[in-house]
Amino acid sequence: MSDAAERDVAVVGCGPAGCAAAVFAARDGLDVAVFDRGRSSLARCAHLENYPGFPAGVDVGTLSDLFRAQAERAGCAVVDDLVESVERAAGDDGGPAGRPEADEPRFVVTPQEGEPVTARRVVAATRYDGEYLRGLDDDEAMFAVRDHGDETHEHFDREYADRDGTTPVDGLYVASPSDADRQAITAAGRGARVGKRVVADARIDDGWWPEAAAGVDWVRREAELDDEWAERDRWVEWFDAEHADGPVDPDSDRFARVREAAVDDARSSYVGADDEAVRAAAGQRALAERLDPDAIVDAHGPDALLDAMDDGAIAAHAAGDGSGPSAGDPASDGGDR
């Protein structure tokens, strides 16, 4: 196992729960692998009509592609493979006494085809499956038995994990199966919550204290910053005031290091108008790339796509005057491909 790829986080499943957890973790800079193959609840929906953001619903093939694309864009490695087992890495007994050092992996994740991966944290996000976790804790704790007439069936206990995904096993989180997994949007919400827990725990491993580690993943407009908050010193002052009575000595190196990182993090969440335009165009393009023009034309006629476009843009394209966005324009994605 010594040459296994080492990740901060391995997420099992890239449905609504897994995608959300993976995106939150990767956006905070964690090195995340997402495994995705096998039985999927999402794939069984005929058409998803109650997931916010899709006025006429969305077919699950498109939504799954979007989930994977979003995970990749956030920096995750998306691995098309089925996880067969998650085991403790050598030296981890799952409790505080056997806890490996903060930067050491706790788990070995073994997929069906590819190489095993080691990870410090594992997020299970598979509505139909929990079997690959067997052995990490007592079966009675993880699995529940249900009667079906004369037969009994064992299934992963939806209440095994807390609502933020934490479990009695250090570093193991469960986003799904859970009591939130019966609707796609609630599964996504649970995944997001678990992703935020993973981020906070990784920061705590790195010396942050809980109040400092809990943050928001927001992208904000620079225009909302008034002159006072444009200065770094104002943020330092804010952090000092927030944490003066916290568990860590404000004069310590540890406090200074965490403050530096927290202030950098908060300030980097502000983007200028140009950056906002680039992001908006990249978002539009990522959606456009996943449309199926043939299906739209078949169902709604040859003019359906043209109707959705600006007449000026069509005329420019037809004239071949090359007036589309270039790589330097805000409207260009600058790196999505």
List contacts with ligand FAD (CB under 6 A): 12-18, 35-42, 44-45, 48-50, 82-83, 125-129, 132, 176, 181-185, 187
| Beta strand residue intervals within the chain, DSSP E | 5-12, 32-35, 77-79, 83-88, 107-111, 117-125, 143-148, 151-156, 172-176, 220-221, 270-271
- Minimum separation from the CB atom of position 28 to ligand FAD (A): 20
Query: Which lies closer to ligand FAD via its Cβ, residue 107 or residue 255?
Result: 107
- Minimum separation from the CB atom of position 195 to ligand FAD (A): 12
Query: Which lies closer to ligand FAD via its Cβ, residue 10 or residue 258?
Result: 10
Cα separation, 78 vs 75, in Å, equals: 9
Query: Which lies closer to ligand FAD via its Cβ, residue 52 or residue 328?
Result: 52
Cα separation, 60 vs 49, in Å, equals: 10
Query: Which lies closer to ligand FAD via its Cβ, residue 125 or residue 200?
Result: 125
Select the residue whose beta carbon is closest to ligand FAD and give its number.
15
- Minimum separation from the CB atom of position 115 to ligand FAD (A): 15
- Minimum separation from the CB atom of position 102 to ligand FAD (A): 27
Spell 143-177 as b/e; 16+ CB within 10 A means b.
beeeeeeeeeeeebbbebbeebbbbebbbbbbbbb
DSSP letters along 289-305, please? TT--HHHHHHHH-TTHH
- Minimum separation from the CB atom of position 35 to ligand FAD (A): 4
Query: Which lies closer to ligand FAD via its Cβ, residue 54 or residue 209?
Result: 54
Query: Which lies closer to ligand FAD via its Cβ, residue 67 or residue 208?
Result: 67
Query: Mapped to the 3 state alphabet, what secondary structure does 126-171 carry?
Result: CCCCCHHHCCCCCHHHHEEEEEECCEEEEEECCCCCCCCCECCCCC
Query: Which lies closer to ligand FAD via its Cβ, residue 169 or residue 180?
Result: 180
- What pairing do the DSSP bridges indicate for beta strands 151-156 and 143-148? antiparallel
Cα separation, 242 vs 315, in Å, equals: 56
- Minimum separation from the CB atom of position 109 to ligand FAD (A): 9
- Minimum separation from the CB atom of position 305 to ligand FAD (A): 27
Query: Which lies closer to ligand FAD via its Cβ, residue 17 or residue 282?
Result: 17
Cα separation, 48 vs 111, in Å, equals: 29
Compute the chain's Rg from CA coordinates.
Answer: 23
- Minimum separation from the CB atom of position 162 to ligand FAD (A): 16
Partners of residue 152 on adjacent β-strands: 147
